């Protein structure tokens, strides 16, 4: 299997891409996933209104470094004017490789404003918005969509075809409805139908990929051009190297050991501190540390200690304690950890 694809004129060197996730896919996490083989990474979704108002926090969310390329900035909004103007700003000032339109976020605070997946209920607005943005910029524009608003409004295949007809360069599909949020099963057949509905553009499949094997199963069933990994990458950037090995017929790498996970915690924490400073990094890293350290006996007391402090130096000392705890326990020392439990619901994309 060829392990690369094109979005417009942008070469993507792997078929496994990192999904945009609010509060998760910041610079540090993108760098980690990229280093483990993610072919394409997305920023967190960024408000078009925040961009045109030049809100500094919003602008900071779009910052990236050259080693993250190819990179996508994803925007959301409810008005054509704001989305068009923000796309122009992104192209001229931020200069990513691709701009993505968020037509898929199901979170009520977004959909209540008419943005995200709420636009699936107003196809004429989506069509006019898409045309305005594609005509305003000269870099590839992509879109991420859901199956539809609810079970009575399943529109993914025809939406993909419409988006292609107006110049969208790729469509990522999460085949759950807005009303489902992240519950129930993703309907992979909708990805297959969307693939059949388009002529030339890549379709990127997303939803319920839990392993390299399930990524291959999605590709085989739907004939999608790439897979998008969201929640399964939380605490597990290794999944990209596993998928790449699977797609290229290589032997899968050994699952990360508990020591690997602790060491990745430390590396991630230091990257966050370098990017955001002590205070902000200490707050942001806690959810990641919980994901890395989830799932093996005796670690809960260390997680609790980490959550009680805002001092990165103390966090690093606690991670050293966890490492020593693993090395001195004869069972844990040899145990490889590969979490296949329930997917997490607290992130949105």
Decide if 105 is catalytic: yes
- Percentage helix, strand, coil for the chain under 3-state DSSP, each rounded to 5: 50, 15, 35
Orientation of helix 156-165 relative to helix 188-197, angle to 10°: 30
Question: Using CB atoms within 10 A of its CB, is residue 67 exposed (0-12), middle (13-18) or buried (19+)?
Answer: exposed
Beta strand 98-103 with 141-148 is parallel
Residue labelled with tokens 């529109």: 155
Catalytic residue among 105, 224, 246, 265: 105
Nearest in space to 41 (alpha carbons), one of 171, 228, 173: 228
User: Cα(226)–Cα(86) distance, rounded to whole angstroms?
Assistant: 27
For residue 66, what are the CA distances in angstroms to 34, 71, 127?
12, 9, 33
User: Cα(159)–Cα(190) distance, rounded to whole angstroms?
Assistant: 11
Residues 6+ apart with CB under 8 A from 90: 51, 62, 73, 75, 96, 99, 137
Residues linked to residue 10 through DSSP beta bridges, in sequence order: 7
User: Cα(166)–Cα(204) distance, rounded to whole angstroms?
Assistant: 18
CB half-sphere exposure, 190, CA atoms < 13 A:
25
Beta strand 10-12 with 5-7 is antiparallel
Query: Would you say 29 and 267 are in contact if contact means Cβ atoms under 8 Å apart?
Result: no
Please name the helix (run of DSSP H) or strand (run of DSSP E) that holds residue 288, with its range, or none. helix 278-292
User: Cα(8)–Cα(84) distance, rounded to whole angstroms?
Assistant: 19
Q: Which residues are catalytic?
A: 105
């Amino acid at each position: 299997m060829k392990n690369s694809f094109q979005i417009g004129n942008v070469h993507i060197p792997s078929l496994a891409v990192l999904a945009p996730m609010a509060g998760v896919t910041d610079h540090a996490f993108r760098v980690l996933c990229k280093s483990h083989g993610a072919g394409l990474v997305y920023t967190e979704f960024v408000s078009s209104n925040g961009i045109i108002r030049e809100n500094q926090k919003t602008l900071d969310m779009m910052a990236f470094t050259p080693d993250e390329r190819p990179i996508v900035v994803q925007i959301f909004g409810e008005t054509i004017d704001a989305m068009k103007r923000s796309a122009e700003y992104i192209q001229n000032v931020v200069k990513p490789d691709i701009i993505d339109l968020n037509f898929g976020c199901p979170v009520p605070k977004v959909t209540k404003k008419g943005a995200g997946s709420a636009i699936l209920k107003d196809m004429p607005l989506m069509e006019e918005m898409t045309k305005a943005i594609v005509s305003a910029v000269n870099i590839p524009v992509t879109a991420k969509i859901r199956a539809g608003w609810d079970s009575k409004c399943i529109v993914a295949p025809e939406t993909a075809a419409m988006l292609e007809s107006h110049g969208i360069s790729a469509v990522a599909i999460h085949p759950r409805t807005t009303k489902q949020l992240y519950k129930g099963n993703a309907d992979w057949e909708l990805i297959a139908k969307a693939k059949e509905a388009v002529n030339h553009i890549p379709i990127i499949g997303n939803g319920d990929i839990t392993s390299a094997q399930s990524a291959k199963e999605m590709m085989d069933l739907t004939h999608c051009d790439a897979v998008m990994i969201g929640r399964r990458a939380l605490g597990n950037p290794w999944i990209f190297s596993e998928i790449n090995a699977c797609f290229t017929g290589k032997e899968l790498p050994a699952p990360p050991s508990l020591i690997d996970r602790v060491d990745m915690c430390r590396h991630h924490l230091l990257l966050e501190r370098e990017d955001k400073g002590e205070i902000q990094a200490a707050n942001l890293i806690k959810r990641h540390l919980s994901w890395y350290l989830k799932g093996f006996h005796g670690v809960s007391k260390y997680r609790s200690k980490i959550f009680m402090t805002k001092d990165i130096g103390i966090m690093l000392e606690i991670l050293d304690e966890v490492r020593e705890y693993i090395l001195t326990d004869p069972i844990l020392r040899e145990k490889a950890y590969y979490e296949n439990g329930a997917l997490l619901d607290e992130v949105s994309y």
